[in-house]
Amino acid sequence: EIVLTQSPATLSLSPGERATLSCRASQSVSSYLAWYQQKPGQAPRLLIYDASNRATGIPARFSGSGSGTDFTLTISSLEPEDFAVYYCQQRGNWPPITFGQGTRLEIK
């Protein structure tokens, strides 16, 4: 089973700042990594798929990079609605499909 480790667990930033979230896989997943945003009481929302492709309707301030075992989600300039929990998920070697434990992005 591929384990995904996200860091940091919590990130405290202010609106307008740049956010950098990390996801590390226990073995290579090639580019088969996705990022999701989840707000309280809501289903997750797909942001990025296959490491660097923005999903439909996702603003350009969200970008993804990486391959193999190290991946990054960058939010270039935080908007108030971006404060949420972010999960990475791999499909490079499944089953099982696995998710990271999440990074909470909170307002400083």
**Interface positions with other proteins (CB under 8 A):** 32, 34, 36, 38, 43-46, 49-50, 55-56, 87, 89, 91, 94-102
Alpha carbon distance 71, 2 (integer Å) = 14
Q: Which is nearer to other proteins, 14 or 56 (CB)?
A: 56
Minimum distance, C-beta of residue 78 to other proteins, in the bound complex (Å): 22
Take residue 98 and report the two structure tokens written for it: 């696995």
Reduced to 3 states, what is the DSSP secondary structure of residue 82?
helix
**How many angstroms separate the Cα of 22 from the Cα of each of 6, 32, 42, 56, 57?**
6, 15, 23, 22, 23
Q: Which is nearer to other proteins, 38 or 72 (CB)?
A: 38
Q: Which is nearer to other proteins, 36 or 83 (CB)?
A: 36
